Structure 1
Amino acid sequence: MQWHELEAAPEYQPAWQELKEIIGQLQEFERSPREHGQIEQHLMVRSHALMRALMQAHLDRLAKQEEKQDRVIAASGTVRRQARERCRSLMTLFGEVRVHRLGYSDRRTDSVFPLDAQLNLPSQQYSHGLQERLGEVVADASFEAAVAHITHHTGGHVPKRQAEQIAHAVSADFDAFYAQRAPPAPAPPQVAEPLGVISLDGKGIVMRQEDLREETQRRAAASSHKLQSRLSRGEKRNRKRMATVAAVYEIEPHYRKAEQIMDPQAARPPAPKPIDKRLWASVQQPMSEVLDEAFAEARRRDSSGERTWLVLVDGLPEQLRQVYAAIKRHGRKAIVMQDFIHVLQYLWDAAWCLHEEGDPKAEQWVREHATDILR
């Protein structure tokens, strides 16, 4: 289609009008100067309206071009012959648009929409782009913050309840995505294999009482609070569920002396970065199941079992018991290592048993014993 035809097409008239209004406002800014931030904000807001008008025009033209068919065969193999024009809404990154298309049905059957399939429209109201943006924000912030981000930075809008449903839906393929990945290519014969690492940690999450495990609910119900509006120190103990956090990655060996680790002034060689790191967590699965997934990921990367594997833990007794049970269950050779940060914490706990709080000798005591442990 030529430019003059596009200008004349009725579907594009709202978009042309929107563009003219944007340019007209910029001309007004020339006569009455504005700061660049005001101009930038004006263009950002109006760009959503322009893009929405363009998308609506495109959808309207597709609807106009859709040809009626004698019959349509559904995915189930059944035939649909009755065609009726239907309309649905679609909330996009630019705002809400309407999708007009033909729906094919017969008695006691759901309608089939060929144009929906062509456009790969979601079954719900929100576009894939809007769902993706929401999922990215929800991963790092609250649902309230995610809803506010969508409202302030896009032309769309998603209520909180729908945001929660979208977040649940977009995470449904997490396990399937990782299960379908091909194993990484082995290193060339002349290149040494990097170390394989399985890291395991626990993170307590404060929960609503009805979402606690049954035993924790009983302990929480039997406890009392010092304050009414918030929990005091120590009172969160029976208000949490433990999430098991696991990571699997490869890393090149990094050799250092004990003094290089403990002396903040010592010269340190650049640390290698993790390779192909997979990180996941679960508050629903028990630790044993998360460990099984971690060892399955390790086997996917090293099916022959020739690589040296390390299991990095914080050293809690139950965690160690589960780790050694998983090593035995999966028949893997692995070196269990305690995270040195946790070792330091244990040393500090011991130091305060031997020294007054704030005594500089405690720091020297910790430094000496930590260095001895590293040697």
Structure 2
Amino acid sequence: MEEMAAVQGRELARLLLQAHLDLRARREEAELTVLDTCSRAALADGRTRLERGHHRELSTVIGTVRVTRCALRSPGRPNCYPADQVLGLPHERHSLGVRRLAVLEAVRGSYDAAMEAITRCCGKVVGKRQIEHLVWAAAVDVAAFYAARVPAPQSADMLLVLSVDGKGIVMRPGHLREATRKAAERAKRTFRTRLATGERSGRKRMATLAAVYDADPAMRRPHDIIAPPGGRSTERTQHPGPEAQAKWLTGSVEHNPEHVIAAAFEQAQSRDPQHQRCWVVLVDGARHQLDLIQAEARRRGVTIHIVLDLVHVIEKLWAASRCFHDPCDPAAEDWIAVKTVRILHGCAQRAADEIRADGDRRKLTGDQRTAADKAAQYLNNNADFIHYDQALAAGWPIASGVIEGAARHLIADRLDITGSRWSVPGAEALLILRAVISNDDFPAYWRYHVAAERQRLYPAHDQDEYALSA
């Protein structure tokens, strides 16, 4: 009974919509018939010939209906359909409701799963490839939407935090960047059937992600960040870190990192046009990104405080610990805690010297101390960005969990599903639409997109004296 009610209820709704469109068609024909030649010419930009009974199919969320309308014609010119403009019909077969549903389902899972979900809900109204093209078309107004959007103002003592990261996406042949494609062609494989250690497949194109958010300063101590050997004392309350507010995400696989970083700075600029707030930029140590961030800050004349992500530092220390401890030795965790606390106190150079000294004392050579030397070198190379004692005293964030979570959510959860291979337009559209949804902006964006699509399809405002009513 439930299945019968669901299927027949949808058919009843489709028949009601069909009847409504038929009624509109009869009223339109009656209204246009009584218009004189001059009125028709004013209505349709000089077209005066009236033809009745033009039909088109429209796939909607309750099934496919037939739209009957009149055409105003003129020799050598395309037909004008006044009812299409009144109804806001797209030129293609699928209604705006189907397009919106296609976007919401496609960003959640594969296109096959999206088609199955739409078919269960609406019947057979759209195919897999059509869903893909509808998603591409739905993403065209995202940049204009955010350019016109004004963020809510914040007080001057609120932190303004930016973070940038990159993540690779497996692409179809022909959609890789030229440098990646040439590197893959030059690469010599050790094995025919698998990659050896250190070899790369050369199938990925790097996407750049950026996050901008507000946060109240939260002052902390080193032991609030990491527990010392033996655990934390119960006599002191652990202080939480800054909490992200009004988070905004963006990303692109089509454009270069310069474009995404400029977009992030543009969003930050709109939140603080007078540069009265403290700008904190969290990075992972990638030199290319650092250079681009610093160049963009100079171009905009804004002072930024760059902080190296502590999680990346700790990962380097874990790798170094294996030079001195067995992989399952609990003492490795205490060794890392001691070094991390020292770095959090602002003594990164001392920690690097101690790591090298530990290697010398144990008389490690060659590959035995490679990870330890890399960790020490990493601390030295980023010495300007690891003043964690100052960052903790000022209440700044020191970990890039927001952008790391964005990389998992925007890319790994959808674009990195098993067997997926992407074109640049397809990956770009899904990436930016997932970012819009993550920003909780999709309802507002869809209203903006519908208005922009109507303006593109029907730019003339000549409907003042012509109104259809149901």
Q: Same fold (TM over 0.5)?
A: yes
- Whether 1:252 aligns to 2:235 is no
Shift of the alpha carbon at 1:63? 0.9
CA distance in structure 2 between the partners assigned to 1:285 and 1:239 by the alignment: 17
Is the CA contact (8 Å cut-off) linking 1:83 and 1:104 kept in structure 2? yes
- Whether 1:242 aligns to 2:203 is no
Q: Which amino acid aligns with 2:21?
A: L
CA distance in structure 1 between the partners assigned to 2:8 and 2:240 by the alignment: 48
CA distance in structure 1 between the partners assigned to 2:68 and 2:310 by the alignment: 62
Instruction: Give the alignment partner of residue 371 of structure 1, picking from 341, 357, 360.
Output: 341
- Whether 1:92 aligns to 2:64 is no
Partner of 1:16: none
Aligned residues: 331
Instruction: Give the alignment partner of residue 255 of structure 2, picking from 277, 285, 290.
Output: 285
- Whether 1:198 aligns to 2:177 is no
Is the CA contact (8 Å cut-off) linking 2:171 and 2:204 kept in structure 1? yes
CA distance in structure 2 between the partners assigned to 1:59 and 1:273 by the alignment: 52
CA distance in structure 2 between the partners assigned to 1:198 and 1:317 by the alignment: 16
Shift of the alpha carbon at 1:152? 2.1
* Cα deviation digits, residues 68-122 of structure 1 (max 9, x gap): 24444589x7311112121111101111011111111101111111111111111
Q: 1:225 to 1:123 in 2, by over 3 A?
A: farther
Shift of the alpha carbon at 1:235? 4.7
Shift of the alpha carbon at 1:232? 7.1
Is the CA contact (8 Å cut-off) linking 2:48 and 2:74 kept in structure 1? yes
Shift of the alpha carbon at 1:134? 0.9
Shift of the alpha carbon at 1:227? 5.9
Instruction: Give the alignment partner of residue 311 of structure 1, picking from 281, 284, 296.
Output: 281
Is the CA contact (8 Å cut-off) linking 1:131 and 1:170 kept in structure 2? yes
CA distance in structure 1 between the partners assigned to 2:248 and 2:335 by the alignment: 38
Instruction: Give the alignment partner of residue 119 of structure 1, picking from 87, 96, 108.
Output: 87
Is the CA contact (8 Å cut-off) linking 2:18 and 2:66 kept in structure 1? yes
SS in 1 for 2:303: coil
- Whether 1:298 aligns to 2:262 is no
Instruction: Give the alignment partner of residue 327 of structure 2, picking from 357, 361, 373.
Output: 357
- Whether 1:82 aligns to 2:40 is no
Partner of 1:215: 179
CA distance in structure 1 between the partners assigned to 2:132 and 2:275 by the alignment: 41
Shift of the alpha carbon at 1:324? 1.6
Gaps of 5+ in 1: 1-25, 27-38
Shift of the alpha carbon at 1:165? 1.2
Partner of 1:103: 71
Q: Which amino acid aligns with 1:83?
A: L
Is the CA contact (8 Å cut-off) linking 1:93 and 1:156 kept in structure 2? no
Shift of the alpha carbon at 1:186? 4.5
Gaps of 5+ in 2: 346-470
Partner of 1:32: none
CA distance in structure 2 between the partners assigned to 1:200 and 1:63 by the alignment: 54
Shift of the alpha carbon at 1:44? 2.9
* Cα deviation digits, residues 4-44 of structure 1 (max 9, x gap): xxxxxxxxxxxxxxxxxxxxxx5xxxxxxxxxxxx2x4433
Partner of 1:154: 122
Is the CA contact (8 Å cut-off) linking 2:250 and 2:264 kept in structure 1? no
Shift of the alpha carbon at 1:332? 0.9
Partner of 1:18: none
Partner of 1:328: 298
SS in 2 for 1:116: helix
Is the CA contact (8 Å cut-off) linking 1:147 and 1:157 kept in structure 2? no
Partner of 1:58: 20
Q: 1:73 to 1:260 in 2, by over 3 A?
A: farther
Is the CA contact (8 Å cut-off) linking 1:92 and 1:156 kept in structure 2? no
Higher relative contact order by CA 8 Å / sep ≥ 6: 1 or 2?
2
Is the CA contact (8 Å cut-off) linking 2:162 and 2:281 kept in structure 1? yes
Shift of the alpha carbon at 1:56? 1.0
Shift of the alpha carbon at 1:236? 4.1
SS in 1 for 2:322: helix
Deviates more, 1:251-260 or 1:287-296: 251-260
Q: Which amino acid aligns with 2:128?
A: K
SS in 2 for 1:78: coil
Percentage of identical aligned residues: 37
Q: 1:74 to 1:216 in 2, by over 3 A?
A: farther
Shift of the alpha carbon at 1:282? 0.6
Q: CA RMSD in A?
A: 2.4
Q: 1:302 to 1:285 in 2, by over 3 A?
A: same
SS in 2 for 1:210: coil
* Cα deviation digits, residues 155-201 of structure 1 (max 9, x gap): 353112211211111000000000111242344xxxx5321111101
Q: 1:366 to 1:200 in 2, by over 3 A?
A: same
* Cα deviation digits, residues 215-273 of structure 1 (max 9, x gap): 21122123337465x76775545221110001112122223322222238775556664
* Cα deviation digits, residues 342-375 of structure 1 (max 9, x gap): 2221211222233222222222211222222223
Q: How does 1:133-212 map to 2 (within 5 A)?
A: 133-187=101-155, 193-212=157-176
SS in 1 for 2:251: strand
CA distance in structure 2 between the partners assigned to 1:50 and 1:242 by the alignment: 49
Is the CA contact (8 Å cut-off) linking 2:160 and 2:214 kept in structure 1? yes
Partner of 2:375: none
SS in 1 for 2:163: strand
More strand by share: 1
CA distance in structure 2 between the partners assigned to 1:122 and 1:280 by the alignment: 28
